[in-house]
Structure 1
Amino acid sequence: MSVPHRPTRRTLVSGLSGLALAPLLAACSGGDDSLARQAGNAGGKNYIAGDGSVMEIAREDRGEPVEFSSTLFDGTPVSGQSLRGAPALLNFWYAACAPCRVEAPHLVALHEQFHPQGVQFLGVNVRDTATTAQAFERTFGIPYPSVEDVRGDVLLSMTDYVPPQAVPSTLVLDAEGRVSARVLGAVEEGTLRALLTTVVAETQA
């Protein structure tokens, strides 16, 4: 899977709830991508301090559907294929990650709004045991499941979009399983709402 050679990257109009998005990032391996540089030299930090930068890819410029295979903490298998047919959100996280704790209430609120519209939410936990992950989910009332990805298989399958160690990160997938948008760092609720609204509208069109 690879990002199209010249994806059209669109900022959301600033009039949407007064949002002011950070400049769009270059490709993950780009020379000026600070997150990519941090991922290569984390300096002992427990997480990469993402800046909330957003990349949105026009429908006609999206790449191939994402491919991965993993299991939920209860052993249920899940894959990229199983998410297709409806929009989806993938959130990479772990319990000790401070920005993950900041964004958790926003993800819960967005799930409440968009799950009834058919959007599938899936966490990808990159570090924790089931006990630790489930304690986090209880604390923040996380209503959707997470896959166990301690070995990093799911994260590595997404390196065209998410720099290794850049956690939290969030991907929005369209109904075909293609990446529609990416947020590096803790999500801002209004921004992610707009990105999800886009893929829901495409599905309903």
Structure 2
Amino acid sequence: MRTRRWAVGLLAAVTATTVLSGCSGGGREADCDNVGGIVECAPDQRSDAPRLAGELLEGGSYDVTQQRGQVVVVNFWGSWCAPCRAEADDLENTYQATKDSGVTFLGINVQDSRDKAIAFEEGYGISYPSLFDPGSRLALDLDIPPNTIPATVILDREGRIATVIRAAVRQEGLQPIVERIAAESTAASGPR
């Protein structure tokens, strides 16, 4: 029993550290706000996102660096994930509501078959692209263990990690965060 409590405590500490390390570099984790599983970093505390590139579900390639200058909402999902199904409409609705503000969305499908992932997107009417990452390499590069999805990471216009959400999202919670990051001026984003 004591070993189990220790293991659970260690897991919680590692998870908290991992979430915060995605937002900042150089040991500035304390400067990021962590409220209710949503970690938001001030512009001068953000670190660059790792390279997010690969093969799209429907074929072709994608590299998030081509979206520099736009806010990019990156959602990790799987067709097998019940919370991912629950948030699908909210993500699509937020995308539709914010895309004219210089915001784009990117899904990253993990631990799935291509057929099931495509059926999921078609069934939920997802109109933004998704990368196919069956080995979860991109998720792990962003410190998103596949067993913690859904997860949503919001990149600012400079490609830096502004927000990490480790839970299913709802439009009423996600859209104001996306709009706030989209409203930031690149001049006010601070040094890189």
Distance 1:194 1:59 in 2: 17
The residue that corresponds to 1:6 in the other structure is 28
**Cα offset for 1:62?**
0.3
The letter for the 1-side match of 2:33 is R
The structure with the greater share of residues assigned to helix is: 2
Give the alignment partner of residue 181 of structure 1, picking from 146, 159, 163.
Answer: 163
Instruction: Choose which of 98, 107, 123 in structure 2 pairs with 1:114.
Output: 98
- Structure 2 residue 150 is the aligned partner of structure 1 residue 168: yes
Instruction: Return the alpha-carbon distance in structure 1 between the equivalents of residues 184 and 148 of structure 2.
Output: 28
Secondary structure, counterpart of 2:147 in structure 1: coil
Aligned sequence identity (%): 32
Relative to the length of structure 2, the TM-score reads 0.78
8 Å CA contact retained: 1:66, 1:80: no
CA RMSD in angstroms, aligned pairs only: 1.9
Residues of 2 paired with 1:59 and 1:143: CA distance?
29
Distance 1:203 1:131 in 2: 40
Structure 2: gaps of 5 or more residues = 1-20, 188-192
Task: Identify which of 38, 45, 64 aligns with 1:54.
Answer: 38
Deviating 4+ runs (over 3 angstroms)? none
TM-score, length basis structure 1: 0.74
Matched to 2:157, the amino acid is A
Letter in 2 for 1:115: K
* Contact 1:93 1:123 survives alignment (8 Å): yes
Q: Where does residue 132 of structure 1 map in the other structure?
A: 116
Structure 2 counterparts to residues 34-53 of structure 1, below 5 A: 53=37
Separation in 2 of the partners of 1:177 and 1:82? 10
Number of residue pairs matched?
Answer: 164
- Which piece of structure 1 moves more, 55-64 or 72-81? 72-81
Gapped regions of structure 1 (runs ≥ 5): 12-20, 23-52
* 1:96-107 alignment runs, 5 A limit: 96-107=80-91
Is the Cα–Cα contact under 8 Å of residues 66 and 177 in structure 1 kept in the other structure? no
Alpha-carbon distance in structure 2 between the residues aligned to 1:152 and 1:85: 26
Which letter does structure 2 place at the counterpart of 1:114? T
